[in-house]
Amino acid sequence: MAKAKRIIKESLKLVDVVIEVLDARIPASSRNPDINETSGQKPRLVVLNKCGLADPDLTMRWIEVFIKSGFSAIAVDLLNGKGVREVPVLVRQLAAPKMASLVSSGRRPRAARCMVLGIPNVGKSFLVNKLIGQRVARTGYKPGVTRGQQWIRVADNLDLMDTPGILWPKLEDAEAAFRLAVTGAIKEEIFNLNDVAGRLIKWLAENHPEAVKNRYKLEELPDEAGELLKAVGSKRGFIIAGGAVDVLKASRNVLKEFREGKFGRITMDYPEN
């Protein structure tokens, strides 16, 4: 972690603008806890990705929050390309004062330089690929596939570091860790599937009861997480030998369907007012 931090700090010295990618469903939980310290005073564009899965009203409120904090912010959906064309425009705007000061201090004009930062699985590689316009960087479903680095011209007067910086997620905060597990930022091997799915279905039952009732054709929602999972498994016909409900299968189903947006467009983090 200390080494990763040092490498990113070195890379940051080379750039004019930081693009911080967050998951629009969890804009607070998907922030790296040290991002402000790490990227210092660099102008920053906050990109709320996967906005097609998030609640549009809450996404707008989050954008206002980031703008009030002094950043530029935009919602994008990299799967369908929504918002991607705005990104170079906003980055160049953020870099403009620096470029002007270079020129006014007698130096030659150069392209603005930016890099993409974010925790695993938020869509950094997808964003880099979209900006480059071809599949140079590798992308994949599992967190942690990016390595190696060079500059690529992605728009007039704008260079992008081809390798995004992977930052560590907010694991010491149990609630954030739970939300990161739900959205796929934490590897499945390191969390207990039944626990995470149980907490998720309980959270959904409390915050979006109609969505859960409709999805699983349930008239009543039990209070307890384990009972909720059993009700889901029973409705879906996930039964093991002997007639008991296959809770693990129900857990997988709840997580999968949430990640696919089957409960609707849901944002788990609410901005503070």
Ligand X SMILES: Nc1nc2c(ncn2[C@@H]2O[C@H](COP(=O)(O)OP(=O)(O)OP(=O)(O)O)[C@@H](O)[C@H]2O)c(=O)[nH]1
**Which of the listed partners (ligand X, Mg ion, none) does 233 bind, with a CB threshold of 5 to 8 Å by partner kind?**
none
Interacting stretch for ligand X, rule CB under 6 A, among 98-106, 140-148, 202-210, 242-250?
140-148
The least CB distance from residue 139 to Mg ion, in Å, is 6
Residue 198 engages ligand X in binding (rule: CB under 6 A) = no
Give the integer Cα–Cα distance in Å for 49 and 169: 16
Smallest gap from residue 218 Cβ to Mg ion (A): 38
Of 146, 163, 253, 267, the residue at the interface with Mg ion (CB under 5 A) is: 146
CA 8, 122, 55 angle in degrees (round to 5)? 140
258 touches ligand X by CB under 6 A: no
- C-beta of 28: minimal distance to ligand X in Å? 17
30 binds ligand X (CB under 6 A): no
Q: Specify the residue, 39 or 125, whose C-beta has the smaller distance to Mg ion.
A: 125
> Given candidates 71, 86, 98, 139, which one binds ligand X under the rule CB under 6 A?
139
CB 125 within 8 A of CB 78: no
Asked if 49 touches Mg ion (CB under 5 A), the answer is no
Q: How many residues bind ligand X (CB under 6 A)?
A: 24
Specify the residue for token string 């597990």. Answer: 181
Residue 221's contacts (CB-CB under 8 Å, 6 or more residues apart) are 205, 209, 212, 213, 228, 231
Two structure tokens written together for 149: 């680095």
Please provide the DSSP assignment of 35-92 as one string: HHHHHTTS-EEEEEE-GGGS-HHHHHHHHHHHHHTT-EEEE-BTTTTBTTTHHHHHHH
Nearest distance in Å: CB 68, ligand X = 24
Among 144, 210, 240, 262, binds ligand X (CB under 6 A): 144
Measure the CA–CA gap between 166 and 139, rounded to whole angstroms. Answer: 13
Task: Compare residues 121 and 251 and give the one whose CB is closer to Mg ion.
Answer: 121
Task: Choose from ligand X, Mg ion, none: what does 182 bind? Cβ within 5-8 Å by kind.
Answer: none
Sites for ligand X among residues 148-177 (CB under 6 A):
164, 166
Among 16, 77, 246, 269, binds ligand X (CB under 6 A): 77
10 CB-side CA count, 13 A: 7
**Rounded CA gap, 83 and 79, in Å?**
11
3 state DSSP class of 150: coil
The answer to whether 103 touches 109, Cβ cutoff 8 Å, is: yes
In this structure, are residues 43 and 112 in contact, taking their beta carbons and an 8 Å threshold?
no
Q: Which of 38, 125, 163, 183 binds ligand X (CB under 6 A)?
A: 125
Q: Give the binding site for Mg ion (CB under 5 A).
A: 124-125, 146
Q: Give the binding site for ligand X (CB under 6 A).
A: 49-50, 52-53, 77-79, 118, 120-126, 139-141, 143-146, 164, 166
